[in-house]
Structure 1
Amino acid sequence: MTSSRSTPRPRVFRKVLVIALCVLAFAVALIAWFTLSPVRQDPESARQATQRSLALLKADNATAARDEALAAVRSDPGSPEPHIALTLAMLALDDGVGAEAEVQRAVEAGYDAKLVPHLRAHAQLLQGEEEKALAELDKADPRFRTYALRIRARALTGLGNLPGALAALNAAMQIAPQDSEVWTDMGRFKYAAGDLLGAIAASEQAVKLAPGNIDALQLRGELVRGQYGLVASLPWFESALKRDPARHDILIEYAATLGDVGRTVDALAVTRRALEVRPGSPEALYLQAVIAARAGKFDLARSLMEKTRGGVASLPGAMLLGSTLDIQAGDYQQAIEKLRTLVNNQPMNITARKLLAVALLRTDSARNAIDMLRPVVARNDADSYALTLVARGFERIGDRANAARFLDRAAYPAIGEPGAFSADDSVAVLAGDAALRPGDPGATVPLIRALIDQGNLPGALAKAQEIAAGNRGAPAAHILVGDTLMLLDRYGDAATAYRTAADLRFDEPTMLRLVESLERAGRRGDAANVLALFLSQNPVNTAALRLSAHWQLVAGDYDAAIDSLETLRARIGDGDAALNTDLAAAYTGAGETATAIEFGEAAYGLAPANPAVADAFGWALYRSGDLPGALELLQKAVVLAPRHPGLRWHLAQVYADLNRKAEARTQAQAALADPGFTERAAATALVAGTG
């Protein structure tokens, strides 16, 4: 019995020992946690980190300020000041959700609830809750009235109440006329309202008052990019990033600008920095997709767009890229859905209309494709691609006559004068609408288009000048005046109007208009200077490179033309018949006939019915000594475009070398009959020599 009773004692002892060891281990863990945990109470560390955060915020480095404020919160989560510092940093970084949460934590930690409504309103505004923000601002302490007025202006702008927003900003300006933030908000407001002159002036004042104001620097960069060009804007973004190297929005603007300048490697590097700052950034992934698509890496571009998870789906550029990738992958229905949305939002977006027509044609919706392009091909300056698409549409529905008509237009070597889309209503109806909405460009512009369609150009000009007088800071208003003056053949006056627009926004459409008006006014030197200035700021702009190369070809500067055209080819690829034609002409002029023949053959394979293509290919063969091949192509070119003196002159020289004197003389005389023909001395000599 004794032995049986003594056996449980070791078990009890072991159980007690295990419990004691567990308690000891737990105690050790607690001691370690209190010793090593980053959220242990350390008021002094929190106070110092909070001071550093506020100093960094004052120095316009909101990212570093946020990091310091986070450290302060961890050191002393029960103190309200670190939460307020974190709120301010998050608001500067446009983190509305985080800022609102920190405001609440500050109040719970003892911060005076009467001192936070302006901050809570700002956080709500960043979350797209304009009405809630306005209601919260009614509780704002008078000490923060300037701040509250700025947030009120932003909220009212978001709700479309521009007069109310302007009144709020003017009130803030009266209270704090030397506040750089107020001037920055005024610049943003003017920019959004289309008053670029006012936006430029406000942004300049904002930077003058606070040269390190990162928001003002970003705004200046955006405005300078439009006013002067891509290259000129880069230093502004770089200055902002020196203040806060991890500011995501500025990294995106900087990367996009570098990409458009053609500095692809630098642009990629900046997008990677943006992804480090904000992993999964849709904007950074989208820019990488654009770069990949430009390099022909469509699978990579598609993969990158998928990773955005719809974060940039509403951007017009992203919709165009996404639909292009859909078409390339054969997913036409998805492309159609995206492009219909884009065209509905931007009816004048010709690129979107052409892409949508492609997708519709590939889904056997030929009539819809034709309808989509009707406003485009109704213009005299419709490009050959749009005309060819319409022709293919008519072919699909069996209308051979219309198909042939549009193919003929597509094949002609020159395009007509630009025009506006037709008005959608009668002059009487539109005039009535404009009378009910005096000073509203949205009502007056359709009336101007209708007056132009009716042939009442003086009336259209008067209305256009009325809009420009009331909107001196809006470049579109001055362009409208210039367009109307061009229709009146007042090219010098049109150039003046376009130059006023270019002083505000020197973009591609404005540049092309200004160059054309100057050239037609007989000021070719001024036109060349405008083009050169634009190219210095936008070195890979497609339209500018094409125009520059054309002028270089005409001037016989073949090496320069080759440089321009090869830059363009690197940008858009080898599938452009016009580009290959110009390359054939440039290499022929430079004496590199083997290369010229390659490009001529490539162009001819893409557009065999285009007389300019046949001429370039034929002339390259002629220069290489292949007279029979040259003769066949140049004869075809003249048949296709019998009124073009340059084609006649080329054919005349081939006939002369073949000793077919009568035919050579006939072609040379036909060229001389055109007053615009420039090689008159050589043609006259040929006529005399074959007489």
Structure 2
Amino acid sequence: MPKALLTSLGSVAAIAAGLLVAGCHAPARPDATTARGELALSVQALGIGNYSAARNHAQAAIKADPQSGLAHAMLARSYLSVGDGIAAEGEITRATAAGFDPARTHHLLAHAWLLQGQADKALGEAAKAPPRYTAYANRVGARALAAGGDPARAKAALDTLLAAAPNDSFAWSDLGRIQYQTGNLAGAIQAATRATAANANNVEALTLRGELVRAQYGLVAALPWFESALAHDAYYVPALLDYAATLGEVGRYRDMLAATRKALAARPGNAQALYLQAVLAARAGKDDLARQLMARTKGQLDTLPGALLLNGTLAYRAGVYQQAIDAWSLLVGQQPTNIVARRLLGAALLRSGDPRGALDALKPVALRADADSYTLALVGRAFEQSGERDWAARYLDRAAFPAVVGSAPLGTDDGLAALALTARETPDEPVAQLGLVRGLLEAGDNAGALAKAQSLVALTPGAPDAYLALGDTLMALNRYGDAAAAYRHAIDLRFDEPTMLRTMDSLDRAGRRAEAANVLALFVSQNPQNVAGQRLAAHWQIAGGDWDAAIETLERLRRRIGNRDAALLAELSYAYTGAGDADVGLVFGKAAYALTPMNPAATDAYGWALYQQGKSAPALQLLEKAASIAPERSTLRWHLGQAYADLDRGAEARTQIRAALADPGFGDRAAALAALKVLG
């Protein structure tokens, strides 16, 4: 033994003797019996999916016998289960220092390094594991391959493992996670289902099932899966975070806050929990608190989409436009098809005095047939600031019309030749093939787009985006029923807003309105806070004459988004007027018209409320204006025809009513035919 170490030990002995003389107690003697009992409880808790309890019992075992290498190893295993790689590595080091066989730690150490983001190091360490731990090590190795950008090899490794052990629940859940990350939702759903069937105590699989159900069916359907995971371990952080995020999306903010607090109790300083609390604070208008909470994340999430969106929003509200632009530019770079991000970036660039930059950001959205009025108005103002008044007028005119119900593909700035070259060079890359389908559609080559879309579905049958591309192509070919079938395949995998809108649009155009209504009802039941779903539900309630339900839906929306949305106010005017309260209908119609006097729906709603009050003469001016702005809208023609009839202008009334009846989609056909009969 080195002399320095002997001297050190001698000094420690002298100090200990001095403490004893001073009346201090010697450390408690190891209690091996208690340690063994706690270890047994830790193993039992781990087996039933209560990882937090497993950790606590392992810590109790160490307290009873600090030199138990097995207890330290068990604590490391528990830390790995809750996703704490740093703490696990420390316990592995203590275990081997206490005499635990290092050969029994290679798979654990590999897992710890993987959790710390060291995929290459984890892969090398996993390869050292002895045969007894091969399955665990191979799972870690597969996850390391996926993290290193090679999901194909990762999947192959897990397929090999599952061929030998088809009931390995954790291998199935690892496979499901990898499939999910690569966009193969069908494969992910199948793997996660096998994982939970093989082991109902696998909380990783239960959590993954919650994530997949949220995408596949909706927010509300996902909650029981997260709750099931938390029933095993109330402090399992991954489940708590997904649960909290989902609760927030369905509007259960108190429960969301409670879940984030639990996550922070289990993992103090957890950046994701702090971010979710910041989102909650921002929604409540507490921007200073939101900024403080984001500061506590110490920049760990600053490059992730959610944090970029939130940080940009907080900066924009504070008038620090360049910070907002920086955040949202990064977000658009990561997610070029994110319409909300593009809209926000365009608004910030325009506010900062960069109209050309705003146009570049907004162009792909403005090219869509269903571009919203706000985006179109931003583009119009950007052209105004650039001195291009002709283009400004075109977009401001489009902004005056309500957005088309439905969802269209995002426009692209890439040329068709470049997209085709990329697709040829990477024939097995789904993103490149999807880009080519979009490019062919924009170029008007619908037949070419259809062939490519069909090939894309064959290449990635588990990816919803492939079915969406096929549906979009079939819609362009006016094959609405076939498009609905393609969109249905997408819905079976991912039931989100764009998929819902496309499916409804295709079913409606195919004359299958009852099916479209069922799709909408299911979506709204699962996503009760979704604005587009609520708007569409109210629109259909009005079309069906369900005035009270429409008022309830629209008033709930108005409380959330305020009184500056002309389309919402116009719909409220129609609903109140239809329910027999034209006085309130007039208030909302007038407010909508004041915001957008060239909006045909707002103009007509204002005039219709006046008409229902018996004020046909002033109503007529507004109804004529609305019909002149949008002569193709049969409802506007029908309203105008009734006003003409009341003013004894029979010929003009007949002209307008017949124009309304010429529209196959016109709903008040019986009443219009009866009115024509009276007019003669």
Could you say whether these structures have the same fold, taking a TM-score greater than 0.5 normalized by the shorter chain as the test? yes
1:536 maps to a residue whose letter is S
Match in the other structure for 2:30: 41
> Which one of the candidate residues 233, 236, 241 is aligned to 2:230?
241
1:613 aligns with 2:602: yes
Match in the other structure for 2:482: 493
Match in the other structure for 1:196: 185
> Which one of the candidate residues 46, 54, 63 is aligned to 1:74?
63
Match in the other structure for 1:357: 346
Match in the other structure for 1:442: 431
User: Does structure 2 retain, via aligned residues, the 8 Å contact 1:642–1:648?
Assistant: yes
1:287 aligns with 2:276: yes
Match in the other structure for 2:266: 277
User: How far apart in 2 are the matches of 1:361 and 1:430?
Assistant: 30
User: Does structure 2 retain, via aligned residues, the 8 Å contact 1:231–1:537?
Assistant: yes
2:546 maps to a residue whose letter is D
1:203 maps to a residue whose letter is A
1:324 maps to a residue whose letter is T
User: How far apart in 2 are the matches of 1:210 and 1:682?
Assistant: 62
Match in the other structure for 1:262: 251
1:221 aligns with 2:210: yes
User: How far apart in 1 are the matches of 2:392 and 2:673?
Assistant: 40
User: How far apart in 2 are the matches of 1:674 and 1:537?
Assistant: 34
1:58 aligns with 2:47: yes
Identity in percent: 54
> Which one of the candidate residues 91, 97, 104 is aligned to 1:102?
91
SS in 1 for 2:24: helix
1:565 aligns with 2:554: yes
The CA deviation at 1:162 is 1.7
1:451 aligns with 2:410: no
1:555 aligns with 2:544: yes
Match in the other structure for 1:403: 392
User: How far apart in 2 are the matches of 1:45 and 1:378?
Assistant: 71
User: Does structure 1 retain, via aligned residues, the 8 Å contact 2:434–2:466?
Assistant: no
Cα distance change, pair 532–418 in 1 and its aligned pair in 2 (3 A) = closer
The CA deviation at 1:359 is 0.7
> Which one of the candidate residues 104, 113, 135 is aligned to 2:124?
135
Cα distance change, pair 351–414 in 1 and its aligned pair in 2 (3 A) = closer
Match in the other structure for 1:387: 376
- Name the stretch that deviates more: 458-467 or 84-93: 458-467
User: How far apart in 2 are the matches of 1:58 and 1:100?
Assistant: 21
SS in 2 for 1:31: coil
User: How far apart in 1 are the matches of 2:578 and 2:224?
Assistant: 40
> Which one of the candidate residues 317, 324, 333 is aligned to 2:322?
333
User: Does structure 2 retain, via aligned residues, the 8 Å contact 1:157–1:189?
Assistant: yes
Cα distance change, pair 592–296 in 1 and its aligned pair in 2 (3 A) = farther
1:111 maps to a residue whose letter is F
1:523 maps to a residue whose letter is R
What do residues 313-347 of structure 1 show as CA deviations (whole Å, max 9, x unaligned)?
A: 23312222221221111111110000110111111
Match in the other structure for 2:13: none
> Which one of the candidate residues 566, 571, 577 is aligned to 1:582?
571
User: How far apart in 2 are the matches of 1:536 and 1:597?
Assistant: 31
Cα distance change, pair 322–559 in 1 and its aligned pair in 2 (3 A) = same
User: Does structure 2 retain, via aligned residues, the 8 Å contact 1:637–1:647?
Assistant: yes
The CA deviation at 1:451 is 2.6
**Count of matched residue pairs:** 666
2:176 maps to a residue whose letter is G
Match in the other structure for 1:8: none
- Name the stretch that deviates more: 297-306 or 558-567: 297-306
SS in 2 for 1:170: helix
Match in the other structure for 2:470: 481
SS in 1 for 2:504: helix
The CA deviation at 1:123 is 0.4
1:273 maps to a residue whose letter is K
What do residues 625-654 of structure 1 show as CA deviations (whole Å, max 9, x unaligned)?
A: 444543343233233324433223323333
User: How far apart in 2 are the matches of 1:617 and 1:33?
Assistant: 88
User: Does structure 1 retain, via aligned residues, the 8 Å contact 2:312–2:328?
Assistant: yes
Unaligned runs of 5+ in 2: 1-15
- Name the stretch that deviates more: 645-654 or 212-221: 645-654
User: How far apart in 2 are the matches of 1:99 and 1:638?
Assistant: 71
Cα distance change, pair 680–86 in 1 and its aligned pair in 2 (3 A) = closer
The CA deviation at 1:248 is 1.4
Cα distance change, pair 610–428 in 1 and its aligned pair in 2 (3 A) = closer
> Which one of the candidate residues 581, 584, 587 is aligned to 1:592?
581
Unaligned runs of 5+ in 1: 1-22
User: Does structure 2 retain, via aligned residues, the 8 Å contact 1:294–1:571?
Assistant: no
What do residues 112-131 of structure 1 show as CA deviations (whole Å, max 9, x unaligned)?
A: 11211111111011100111
1:290 maps to a residue whose letter is V
2:259 maps to a residue whose letter is V
User: Does structure 2 retain, via aligned residues, the 8 Å contact 1:511–1:534?
Assistant: yes
What do residues 378-416 of structure 1 show as CA deviations (whole Å, max 9, x unaligned)?
A: 222211111000111122222222211111011124538
User: Does structure 1 retain, via aligned residues, the 8 Å contact 2:364–2:412?
Assistant: no
Match in the other structure for 1:86: 75
Match in the other structure for 1:323: 312
> Which one of the candidate residues 596, 611, 627 is aligned to 1:622?
611
User: How far apart in 1 are the matches of 2:407 and 2:491?
Assistant: 19
User: How far apart in 1 are the matches of 2:293 and 2:647?
Assistant: 59
User: How far apart in 2 are the matches of 1:417 and 1:269?
Assistant: 37
What do residues 228-263 of structure 1 show as CA deviations (whole Å, max 9, x unaligned)?
A: 221211111111111100111111111111221222
Match in the other structure for 2:172: 183
SS in 2 for 1:552: helix
User: How far apart in 1 are the matches of 2:81 and 2:503?
Assistant: 40
Match in the other structure for 1:637: 626
1:136 maps to a residue whose letter is E
User: How far apart in 2 are the matches of 1:608 and 1:299?
Assistant: 37
User: How far apart in 2 are the matches of 1:77 and 1:346?
Assistant: 50
1:114 maps to a residue whose letter is A
User: How far apart in 2 are the matches of 1:163 and 1:684?
Assistant: 64
* TM-score of the superposed pair, with normalisation by structure 1: 0.91
Cα distance change, pair 282–522 in 1 and its aligned pair in 2 (3 A) = same
User: How far apart in 2 are the matches of 1:422 and 1:509?
Assistant: 15
User: How far apart in 2 are the matches of 1:580 and 1:83?
Assistant: 64
Which structure: larger Rg? 1
User: How far apart in 2 are the matches of 1:402 and 1:51?
Assistant: 75
The CA deviation at 1:524 is 1.1
2:351 maps to a residue whose letter is R
> Which one of the candidate residues 21, 24, 28 is aligned to 1:31?
24
User: How far apart in 1 are the matches of 2:672 and 2:519?
Assistant: 34
User: Does structure 1 retain, via aligned residues, the 8 Å contact 2:69–2:100?
Assistant: yes
User: How far apart in 1 are the matches of 2:284 and 2:610?
Assistant: 32
The CA deviation at 1:511 is 1.6
The CA deviation at 1:427 is 4.6
The CA deviation at 1:31 is 3.2
User: How far apart in 2 are the matches of 1:107 and 1:673?
Assistant: 84
The CA deviation at 1:563 is 2.1
* TM-score of the superposed pair, with normalisation by structure 2: 0.92
Cα distance change, pair 250–585 in 1 and its aligned pair in 2 (3 A) = same
1:125 aligns with 2:118: no
- Name the stretch that deviates more: 41-50 or 160-169: 41-50
The CA deviation at 1:157 is 0.2
SS in 2 for 1:438: coil
- Name the stretch that deviates more: 482-491 or 660-669: 660-669
User: Does structure 1 retain, via aligned residues, the 8 Å contact 2:406–2:504?
Assistant: no
> Which one of the candidate residues 367, 373, 386 is aligned to 2:362?
373
Match in the other structure for 2:297: 308
RMSD between aligned alpha carbons?
2.5
Cα distance change, pair 568–161 in 1 and its aligned pair in 2 (3 A) = same
1:112 aligns with 2:105: no
